[in-house]
Structure formats: C-alpha cells, structure tokens
Amino acid sequence: MSLSRIGVLTGGGDAPGLNAVIRAVVKSACNHGLECVGLEDSFDGLIHPDQARVLEPRHVTGILRRGGTILGTTNRGDPFAHAATGQDYSARCLERFHELALDALVAVGGDGTLAIAHEFFKRGMPLVGVPKTIDNDLVGTNSTFGFDTAVSFATQAIDRLHSTAEAHRRVMVVEVMGRTTGWIALYAGVAGGGDVILIPEIPYDLERVADRIGERARLGARCSIVVVAEGASPKGGEASIVTPASEGRLARLGGLGARVAVQLEDLTGQEARSVRLGHLQRGGEPTSFDRVLATRFGGKAVELILNGEFGRMVANRPPDIVAVPLADVVGRTKQVPTDLDLVRTARALGISFGDEEPA
C-alpha cells in the first residue's frame, strides 16, 4: 500500500505531552515524505469539514514544551453516539476520512478514544493508537505520558502543604485525580512523603486513618499529610460523585478530600484542611520524561504506519517502545495491584492505606 497522507487527532481529557506527540508525528511523517492533516477536537475533525488542516513542520515548531493540544480535544465526542446530539456519525467519519484522501490515522487518547479508534479500525479505517492519560490506567503500556507531569505537580503541592501543615499542627488532606485508579495518589503520596494514601483499589476505614494520625501526634509529629485519590471510597461505601454518569459521559468524581478532612477533624480532634488539585494536574508544561515518552510514541506511531501495522497501540515496555493490538487493551483498566512493590514498600515505611488491622 502506498502512503501519502495521514491524519492525527487528540481525544479525551488533555494531558501534558499531547503537543509533543503531534510534533513527533508531523516531523517524522514529513521527513518520510508523508503529508499530515490535523483533525480538530478529536473525531469531530472527521465530522465537520472546517475542522481539518494541513500540518507542516513549521506549524509544530515550539510546541514541544506546551501543555494542552494545538488540535483541541473533547471527551464528549463519541461519533457512534455523539453527546451533543445522540446521533451516530460514524459513517460520516469514514466518508470524510476518504474525502480528505487520508491513508492512515494516528489517534492519541485514553480508553474512550482508543475504543472509538478500535471500532473504526474494525470498519476498515487504517489507524494506530497512542496511549495518553495522566491517570496511567491503560493496560498494555507501562506508562502513559502526562502521568509523570501530574505526579510531579502533585508532589510539589504536597511539599508546600507540609510546611503550612507543620506550622499550624494541622492534618492536611490533598485530593488528586486518577478516576477509578490510585496511581497518581500512590506515586505522589510516596514522592511527597505522605503519611496516609487512600486509593480506590483499597477501600478504607477512617477509624484506622485516625489511629495512624493520633499515633503520629503522640510521637511528636506536628502534622499529617493524607493523600486521597478522587475515586477512593470507604469500606462498604460509595465514591464521591459530583455528577452521575449520563449518556456518553463518565461520572465526574470529586469532593472526597473535603469530606475526609471534616471526618478526620471529628475523629482526631486535630484541625484539618483539604485541597483539591483538580485540573492543575493536567495543565502546564510536560516534564522532560513525558516529552521524551510522547516523542517516542509519536515516532513509533509513524513507523507502524509506514510498516502497515494497523490496529495497534504504541506502548512503553522499557527499554523499548512496542506495538500491542488495540483489541487487547480497549475496555480494560489498569488498577494498582494491591500487592505492588510500591504499596508494600509504602506500608513497610509506615504509610497507612486505611485498611490496617486495629492495634
């Protein structure tokens, strides 16, 4: 199959490093004699005729370090059941793909975008997926770009909270993102020297958390830091939901940190405050790690296209970037294994996950 033109789109929530992928795709594709077309706002770029534009290397100069995505993105744009209208635009997308004379597509996104990409692949669209999410919850790849940046930001935030918490003898609860997984909380909690880490994979008992905080106070600690994943929940209880799931939309999580702070103040008698880091974790410049990973992903995606290896997702399997079938990764979530070495190490250091046996 001779190739001359490829498309690239970014879908789902943004993650630092998206621009680095776009830059790598455009530069390496153009260096191989391919023309690149950027599709705006995920698959909407294949629905609306004015949302596609040719991308040349000059268009991607200077974007390596920029957060967000120059192509725009949406997590409400499933063409098979569009959130705005409920309509199925998939046939329109396939038609537009051919109208644009595209020979292949690079779809950069998380679980939702990759699932859509897989559906289009099954309907004959030659494409390659690139995994993206700050949550690090995609199977098949050791890591996704955006995660390192989110963890670095959350770690800096915890560092700052340490000094103010210590000054006031407070319990400081910091809520991080991660949806139904606790990767960000676990990594930032360990990197920031947190005393308690609550993750969705380990339902917690707040009495145990209070025990740990009380014990620390008795031993002379002036403060305690509790890192809470937004999707964590108490044993036998529910996650903290801002907006329930609806057609084409996942439930919006949030507010657990504030709830936990109030409850802990009650249980420990120590003053407690909460901070929700929210979208600050997704914004801003990618770390050097994420820039390199995103660049490797983009380069590998073009390599797969040139080799005619479609229906694959590029994946980080150190020391290599490999290709795995999309069929093996879509519809699955990479939870934190409860016996992960980092969980065991954290426990060995005295970090509580709120599930310890009472003393």
**Applying CB under 6 A, which residues contact ligand F6P?**
13, 75, 110, 133-135, 177-179, 230, 252-253, 282
- Kindly state the helix (H) or strand (E) to which residue 302 belongs, with its residue range: helix 288-306
Select 308 or 331, whichever has its Cβ closest to ligand F6P. 331
Q: What is the nearest approach in angstroms of ligand F6P to the Cβ of residue 249?
A: 8
Name which of 356, 13, 353, 352 is nearest 178 in CA terms. 13
The Cα–Cα gap between 140 and 60 comes to 29
Q: Catalytic annotation on 135? A: yes
Q: What is the nearest approach in angstroms of ligand F6P to the Cβ of residue 83?
A: 11
Order the strands of the 320-325 sheet from edge to edge.
Answer: 52-55, 35-39, 5-10, 104-109, 127-131, 312-317, 320-325
Which single residue brings its beta carbon nearest to ligand F6P? 177
Select 297 or 310, whichever has its Cβ closest to ligand F6P. 297
Structure token pair of residue 296: 């490797």
The Cα–Cα gap between 239 and 251 comes to 10
Q: What is the nearest approach in angstroms of ligand F6P to the Cβ of residue 233?
A: 14
The Cα–Cα gap between 186 and 192 comes to 10
Q: Given 14, 44, 135, 290, which residue is catalytic?
A: 135
Select 131 or 311, whichever has its Cβ closest to ligand F6P. 131
Q: What is the nearest approach in angstroms of ligand F6P to the Cβ of residue 112?
A: 9
Q: How many CB atoms lie within 10 A of CB 88?
A: 13
Select 282 or 296, whichever has its Cβ closest to ligand F6P. 282
Which residues are part of the catalytic machinery?
135
